[in-house]
Amino acid sequence: MSEISTIDRYAFLTEWFDTEASLLKKFYLFFFPFDETLELYDVKNRRVFLKRTRCEGISLNELFIGNTVEIFCRQMKIVDHADDMTKKKMLFSMQKTFALIKPDGIDRIGTILRLICNNGFKISKLKMAKVTKDQAMKFYGDRIGQSILPYLLDHITSGPVLAMQIVAENAVNKWRELCGSFDPEIAKKESPNSIRACYGKSKIVNVVHGSESIQAASEAAEIFFPSDPAAVENAPMTSAVFEKSTCCIVKPCAIKEGKLGEIVSLIQECNFEVTAMQMFYMDHSTASEFYEVYKGVVSEYPAMVGHLMSGPCVAMEIIGPMGDETPIEFRKFVGPADPDIARQLRPHTLRARYGKNKIQNAVHVTDLPQDAPLEVQYFFKILSSTS
């Protein structure tokens, strides 16, 4: 590393699982913002693995700890900064904060997610969950002794919440500005376009929460997204109902393009309800296991696996007014797997609007009604319990 210039470049430690060798390999990823080129350096073998070159779709906004980026068909997970200079530069430019959509805002999650994406935030973690009184007390620990606390506890435990870790330049202040004053009446005067001004009803029922500092954001995130695997079982549980529902996955291509909010908005506008939601970073093992039913059946299977693990995806449990018919009706709403066919036959479907091709077709949906419970359980019982 000493021979590589440290001028105008960022350095990250990344990991790539080589499926052929069954080895986890570590690389330094050097990114040069001037011309948006990158270079990979093999840590173990101490040699350049990929000479400096451009890689379509890779920008500085994608390079933050916890994210997975696809570099010439290799899924590289960013696990740390590789030098102090990069760490200092990224502390402000890619600052993390904690955001929460409260129970009164769940029916507007699509709209709020769209605002988040349109205002330059990247979502690095996301989970819809049910909060217990003990967890709520921990979350509102700074309010102990205040008369408002019982009302805050009652509200946050009254229904599911959507917890997120979001990333942007000056994220803490930027998110609080987007939220507006905790008092919606004040928000309407000071920032009429803020979330609370538009949708808040009172100081308690005010749609969203925003952490006041980096430290507070980190502490709140630990409640919902514990860094210690042993603490996962004590985190708020999924809100999935596992009954009369189907599974939908917003794929990495749509997440990367900032379309999550738009897709969820359309789902909610068409009278489907999102009852569970979580962001996952799939590896080869989980992606191939999930798509196992397509192995040997469709020629696109390897590409489907590769795309699902190319970046974050968001799995959702969906229920609809048609009860047992939800899997069939939602499948019609999503449209044919091939977006070109969808645009010809059913132009208002999700894949017709957001799909590019049969692999990058924006969303996965359960094909057969009998598979719906299995797919929902895979994400919200099996994978959720380890995330």
pLDDT per residue as tens digits for the range 346-362: 999 999 999 999 999 99
pLDDT of 5 > 50? The answer is no
* Mean of pLDDT values over 287-299: 93
92: left (phi over 0), alpha (psi -120 to 50) or beta: alpha
Structure tokens at 357: 């091709």
pLDDT of 3 > 50? The answer is no
**What one-letter code names the amino acid at 357?**
N
- List the chain domain ranges: 10-89, 94-238, 246-386
pLDDT of residue 69: 87
pLDDT of residue 302: 92
Tens digit of pLDDT for each residue in 16-70?
988 778 889 999 999 998 889 999 999 999 999 999 999 987 888 888 888 888 8
**What 3-state class would DSSP assign to 76?**
strand
pTM of the model: 0.87
Cα→Cα distances 325→55, 62, 258, Å? 44, 39, 30
* Mean of pLDDT values over 361-369: 96
Shared fold status for 10-89 and 246-386: no
Q: Which residue has the higher pLDDT, 179 or 387?
A: 179
pLDDT of residue 386: 67
Q: How many CB atoms lie within 10 A of CB 335?
A: 26
pLDDT of residue 387: 62
**What one-letter code names the amino acid at 68?**
T
Candidates 3.20.20.140, 3.40.50.1980, 3.30.70.141, 3.20.20.110; CATH matching 246-386:
3.30.70.141
Q: Which residue has the higher pLDDT, 163 or 77?
A: 163
Q: Decide if domain 94-238 falls under CATH 3.10.590.10.
A: no
Return the active site residues: 209
Q: pLDDT band for position 195 (50/70/90)?
A: very high
Percentage above 70 pLDDT, the chain: 97
Structure tokens at 5: 């210039």
DSSP 174: H
CATH number of 10-89: 2.30.29.170
pLDDT of residue 73: 80
What's the CA gap between 200 and 194, in Å, rounded? 10
Q: Are the beta carbons of 130 and 106 closer than 8 angstroms?
A: no
Helices (H) and strands (E) in the chain, counts: 16, 15
DSSP 236: P
Dihedral sign of CA atoms 360, 361, 362, 363 in order: negative
Q: Which residue has the higher pLDDT, 360 or 92?
A: 360
